[in-house]
Amino acid sequence: MIVPFGELKRNYLACQTDIDIAVARVSKSGWYLFGEEQENLENNFAQYCQTKYGIGVASGTDAVQIALSACRVGKGDDVLTTSNTCVPTIVGIEATGAKCIFVDIDPRTYTIDPDLIESRITPQTRAIVVVHLYGQCADMDPILEIARKNELIVVEDCAQAHGATYKGQKAGSLGDVAAFSFYPSKNLGAFGDAGMVITSDSDIACQAKKMRNYGQDGKYNHIIRGTNSRLDEIQAAVLNAKLRFLDSWNGRRQQVAKRYIEGLKNHSLELPYETEYGKHVWHLFVIRVPNRDEFRSDLVSKGVQTGVHYPSPVHLQPAYTEYEAQKKYLTITGQQAGHLVSLPIFPELTDDEINHVIKSVRLV
Ligand SMILES: Cc1ncc(COP(=O)(O)O)c(C=O)c1O
């Protein structure tokens, strides 16, 4: 048996009729950008996330950039975030002209450690981009408290946390503004690139709306500097069709995670930690092992594909050497990076495949 790390076709087949109807509707409509599908998705997804406004954009990276720019963060500003994240978090921050200041992570959740935030604030710090990594929210209450005290904007990077909650509140509704990615393999994924900014602040929403459309306020009236970042009607229709399955898909991810945790609890590896304050939506199931390369190749020989999220933190990537000097503040990030392995987790994984993963890991 081969257990794939992911297989998007299975997800399409799980809701094929709905998707085919939605795509055909757009094809026949003759209207492909800024239409009804986008508007429906913006309303539906904002409501799903317990916020007032949704602004569809072309990707999660753009969503991070536009969320920050809409809060007037830019050149000369510092933005706090974590280095154990997907590089696009940093791409989005830097696209505003701001620079990153990294904060170390909580060793159990891999999300920003609130106790370390204040020591990293500079006179230029304007915002914190909190990444809800792997499907679990960071500990938002102390983060929001520090932000309030220091007048910092809080942007939630929810690219991996569609439907996750913190103390009963949805990811994306906790800070000032949030960025989502609908990259195909996300918990809610499009058939290409797509993203969304969500907020309950009307001024931020208004700025973001202009920004994604060349800074226009009405046709050919460019009142701010913007960009082209549109979520097209086909992607919006696909996402609208899939949104109604999101909770049940997240439920299945939770079942898979539970099975892994039960099946692997007495084995010599570090399992993911679930906080008591939130609902984890298991975008990724990340374990820690002493010898990653050997572990992964052993699993491949048993038919189990794995991933690594992420092989190296951003400040140690070749393109980001200017951040390497921050290494001294990132001990936990640095210690863990070489040991992380992601096991297959997606809603269409079968019971047999789950058992095969557990059996194979136990034999390594
Ligand atoms: C944490 C995080 N932030 C931002 C992004 C950017 O999303 P996209 O690939 O849609 O630009 C991703 C997705 O890869 C991500 O995982």
Q: Is the pLDDT of residue 266 over 90?
A: no
Beta-carbon count within 10 A of 209 CB: 20
Ligand 1 site, residue 157, Cβ cutoff 6 A: yes
pLDDT tens readout for residues 319-362: 999 999 999 999 999 999 999 999 999 999 999 999 999 999 99
CA atoms within 13 A on the CB side of 229: 28
Question: Which atom of ligand 1 approaches the CA of 181 most closely?
Answer: 10
State which of 59, 61, 134, 284 you would mutate to test the pocket of ligand 1, scoring each by most atoms of that ligand within 8 A of its C-beta. Answer: 61
| Ligand 1 center–CA 362 separation, angstroms | 32
Question: Which atom of ligand 1 approaches the CA of 59 most closely?
Answer: 10
174/178 Cα distance (integer angstroms):
8
Ligand 1 site, residue 59, Cβ cutoff 6 A: yes
> Residue 21 has what pLDDT?
98
Q: Which one, of 281, 253, 217, 345, lies nearest residue 49 by Cα?
A: 281
159 in Cβ contact with 179 (< 8 Å): yes
> Residue 268 has what pLDDT?
84
pLDDT tens readout for residues 291-320: 999 999 999 999 999 999 999 999 999 999
Domain boundaries, the chain: 8-103+110-243, 246-363
> Residue 283 has what pLDDT?
98
* Confidence tier at 70 by pLDDT (50, 70, 90): very high
Mean pLDDT of 201-210: 98
> Residue 244 has what pLDDT?
97
List Cα–Cα distances, 343 to 86, 283, 309, 360, in angstroms: 17, 11, 10, 11
pLDDT tens readout for residues 119-178: 999 999 999 999 999 999 999 999 999 999 999 999 999 999 999 999 999 999 999 999
DSSP state, 216?
A: B
292/330 Cα distance (integer angstroms):
21
Ligand 1 site, residue 61, Cβ cutoff 6 A: yes
Question: pLDDT over 70 for what percent of the chain?
Answer: 100
> Residue 176 has what pLDDT?
98
Q: Is the pLDDT of residue 188 over 90?
A: yes
303 in Cβ contact with 5 (< 8 Å): no
List Cα–Cα distances, 316 to 111, 146, 324, 328, in angstroms: 18, 28, 6, 12
| Ligand 1 center–CA 89 separation, angstroms | 6
Burial of 73 (0-12, 13-18, 19+ CB in 10 A): buried
Q: Do domains 8-103+110-243 and 246-363 have the same CATH topology?
A: no
Ligand 1 site, residue 189, Cβ cutoff 6 A: no
272 in Cβ contact with 257 (< 8 Å): yes
pTM score of the predicted model: 0.98
Q: Is the peptide bond preceding residue 310 cis, with omega within 30 degrees of 0?
A: yes
| Ligand 1 center–CA 194 separation, angstroms | 10
Q: Is the pLDDT of residue 267 over 90?
A: no
Ligand 1 site, residue 195, Cβ cutoff 6 A: yes
Question: Which atom of ligand 1 approaches the CA of 193 most closely?
Answer: 10
Question: Which atom of ligand 1 approaches the CA of 183 most closely?
Answer: 10
Q: Give how far the C-alpha of residue 195 lies from the chain's centroid of Cα atoms, to the nearest Å.
A: 10
Ligand 1 site, residue 81, Cβ cutoff 6 A: no
| CATH pick for 8-103+110-243 out of 2.130.10.10, 3.40.640.10, 3.40.50.300, 3.10.20.440 | 3.40.640.10
Extract the runs of DSSP E, i.e. beta strands, from 190-237: 195-199
Q: SS3 for 345?
A: coil
Mean pLDDT of 178-193: 98
> Residue 37 has what pLDDT?
98
* Confidence tier at 256 by pLDDT (50, 70, 90): very high
Taken in order 211, 217, 220, 225, is the CA torsion positive or negative?
Answer: negative
- 246-363 homologous superfamily: Aspartate Aminotransferase, domain 1 (3.90.1150.10)
